[in-house]
């Protein structure tokens, strides 16, 4: 327990590597927060006040729930959709999907007490190890409602991004944040100066909200580098994003700082490497520092727990009035269906150029899609970008080749999956087949969208190759492939209709709760694609996982007037399975 209020002006917290010469450990984590914080405060004078209010709400939440029992496992209080923005210069920085998936797995283990190494916690602290109840999933739906892998990639000429948030803005060569009230934005790119990563606390600007991590410290497979090769940099940084402070209170060893958490011992300063228990500081014996906590600076294999108090502080963000309560109702982790969004990327064959050492696609323009770029390692997933095409209309697509030095003859082929069956081999789906050209100038191709094309979002693929025999699938020697989303309007498939109960709040593929937050009555609208006469059952749970009984349900209206203010989980079970929703009672 620290004694003094930690500065409300915590904005971005960074981890850096500093070289040491006297130790066998050649580098260690250190904090670069002061310089970054000064920049953020100067740009946003209101940030300190916002952070103070968020801190007060967290302390009040902790006091209110001080008597709650901590169980070995808890229900998931929130599932956070994650979008990973990979911005790379060298090919090694363009980390694989598998490396990204490994990081999501680590976050789910560490935030749900599923990491096997938590059992290494000394007995003095074992009763404080928390299951935070927070779950992470790669986004399946973009802010525009289209399907996505939750991963977007961009090639850049920038070799190191620093901590000025340039990686977070397309205008400065990076990638823009997705709606930060609905997604956790993770940027992966080399920060430079040995920096592992940095995070923005709740209360900062929405356009820069999220976490940045250098690729060699992201995940636990692929290009990761020891001793930070187990994905714990993200566990630490996402902790900051969820309002956790460093466990020692950032007081340079003065023993006067605070992390605003009641069950973490007062600690002199950060710990490095692999400390031996007990490590005593600030007269905190006999048990000493909780150095195995994710919010210290020890090696990845020496940190393996959050405390109950830290769990409370994070979950306060999702309570009524919490700074990240919008994540409770985010649909970013729910795949679209019924004509909304692209088919899952796994439904389409892979297509990639093996080398972009000589040529690459540098422009694709179709409707509102307008992307100029450098080489993208042979493939670019641009499905987060979309444009609408009306069935029966004539369209023109512009494209051009980029050359590193000498120009080569390049063929362009454009495909659109009009019937949305996951392939480009059906009649009429090769919409442009441009002859070879050595020109770097913008070229165009025209096509007419057939009236038989199905309504909704589907995949468009642009393939550039020096071989006329290259098709929509497979690897080819030289060139590049880019995928985008096009939404067909006025085509063969009718749009989803409103549910028969007359509600205009229903959507095609999920139950919808409204109003949310609710005061007395919570309406439950069926999916518009569901059988409106089928029966379903509803169960409500609080954030501890305890079921709330004796709630009355009449004609799709749930009486929540007797509930205490707070956040609840609602499970709806019908003949097709169980869906999970969250709502706030005011």
547 as an active site residue: the answer is no
- The residue from 35, 93, 152, 237 that is catalytic is 237
Distances (CA, A) of 222 to 98, 100, 194, 264, 345: 8, 9, 19, 34, 22
Which burial class, exposed, middle or buried, applies to 201 when counting CB atoms under 10 A from its CB (0-12, 13-18, 19+)? buried
Q: How many residues does the chain have?
A: 586
Token digits for 404? 């590193």
Return phi, psi of residue 210, to 5°.
Answer: 145, -160
User: Rounded to whole angstroms, how far apart are CA atoms 258 and 237?
Assistant: 18
Task: Give dist(CA 522, CA 533) in Å, integer.
Answer: 20
Using an 8 Å Cβ cutoff, are 164 and 193 in contact?
no
Compute the distance between CA of residue 37 and CA of residue 475 in angstroms, rounded to an integer. 46
Question: What DSSP line would sit under 143-196, residue for residue?
Answer: TTS-B--SEEEEE-S-S--TTSSGGG-GGGTS-PPP-TTT-EEEEES--STTEE
- From residue 118, give the alpha-carbon distance in Å to each of 112, 137, 185, 449: 11, 22, 27, 57
Q: What are the CA-CA distances from residue 254 to residues 268, 269, 276, 325 (Å)? A: 6, 8, 22, 35
Instruction: Give me the sign of the Cα torsion angle 374, 161, 103, 55.
Output: negative
371-393 b/e with 16+ CB inside 10 Å = b?
Answer: bebebbbbbbbbbbbbbebebee
Catalytic center residues: 237
């Amino acid at each position: 327990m620290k004694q003094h209020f930690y500065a409300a002006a915590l904005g971005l917290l960074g981890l850096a590597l500093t070289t040491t010469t006297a130790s066998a450990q050649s580098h260690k984590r250190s904090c670069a927060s002061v310089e970054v914080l000064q920049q953020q405060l100067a740009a946003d004078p209101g940030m300190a006040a916002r952070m103070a209010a968020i801190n007060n709400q967290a302390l009040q939440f902790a006091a209110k729930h001080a008597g709650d029992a901590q169980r070995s496992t808890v229900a998931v209080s929130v599932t956070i959709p994650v979008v990973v923005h990979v911005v790379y210069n060298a090919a090694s920085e363009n980390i694989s999907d598998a490396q990204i998936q490994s990081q999501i797995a680590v976050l789910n283990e560490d935030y749900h007490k599923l990491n096997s190494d938590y059992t290494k916690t000394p007995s003095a602290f074992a009763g404080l190890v928390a299951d935070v109840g927070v779950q992470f999933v790669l986004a399946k739906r973009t802010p525009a409602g289209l399907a996505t892998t939750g991963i977007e990639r961009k090639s850049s000429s920038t070799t190191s991004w620093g901590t000025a948030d340039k990686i977070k803005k397309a205008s400065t060569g990076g990638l823009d944040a997705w709606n930060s009230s609905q997604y956790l934005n993770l940027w992966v790119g080399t920060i430079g100066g040995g920096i592992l990563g940095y995070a923005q606390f709740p209360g900062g600007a929405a356009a820069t909200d999220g976490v940045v991590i250098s690729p060699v410290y992201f995940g636990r497979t692929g290009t990761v580098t020891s001793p930070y090769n187990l994905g714990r940099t993200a566990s630490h940084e996402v902790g900051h994003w969820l309002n956790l402070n460093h466990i020692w209170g950032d007081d340079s060893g003065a023993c006067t700082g605070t992390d605003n958490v009641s069950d973490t011992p007062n600690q002199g300063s950060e710990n490095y490497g692999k400390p031996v228990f007990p490590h005593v500081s600030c007269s905190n014996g006999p048990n000493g520092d909780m150095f195995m906590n994710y919010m210290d600076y020890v090696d990845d294999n020496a940190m393996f727990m959050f405390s109950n108090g830290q769990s409370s502080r994070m979950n306060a963000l999702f309570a009524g009035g919490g700074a990240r309560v919008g994540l409770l109702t985010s649909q970013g982790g729910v795949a679209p269906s019924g004509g909304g969004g692209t088919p899952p990327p796994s439904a389409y064959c892979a297509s990639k150029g093996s080398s972009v050492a000589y040529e690459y696609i540098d422009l694709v323009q179709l409707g509102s899609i307008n992307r100029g770029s450098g080489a993208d390692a042979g493939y670019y997933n641009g499905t987060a970008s979309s444009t609408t095409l009306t069935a029966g209309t004539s369209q023109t697509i512009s494209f051009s080749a980029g050359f590193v030095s000498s120009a080569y003859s390049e063929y362009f082929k454009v495909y659109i999956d009009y019937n949305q069956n996951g392939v480009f081999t059906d009649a009429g789906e090769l919409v442009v087949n441009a002859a070879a050209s050595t020109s770097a100038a913008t070229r165009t191709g025209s096509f007419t969208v057939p009236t038989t094309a199905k309504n909704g979002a589907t995949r468009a693929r642009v393939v550039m190759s020096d071989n006329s025999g290259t098709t929509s699938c497979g690897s080819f020697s030289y060139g590049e492939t880019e995928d985008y989303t096009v939404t067909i309007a006025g085509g063969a498939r009718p749009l989803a209709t409103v549910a028969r109960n007359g509600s205009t709040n229903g959507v095609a593929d999920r139950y919808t709760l409204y109003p949310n937050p609710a005061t007395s009555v919570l309406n439950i609208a069926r999916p518009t694609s569901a059988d409106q006469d089928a029966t379903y059952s509803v169960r409500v749970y609080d954030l501890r996982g305890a079921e709330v009984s004796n709630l009355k349900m009449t004609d799709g209206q749930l009486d929540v007037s007797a509930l205490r203010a707070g956040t609840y989980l609602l499970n709806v079970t019908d003949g097709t399975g169980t869906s999970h929703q969250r709502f706030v009672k005011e």
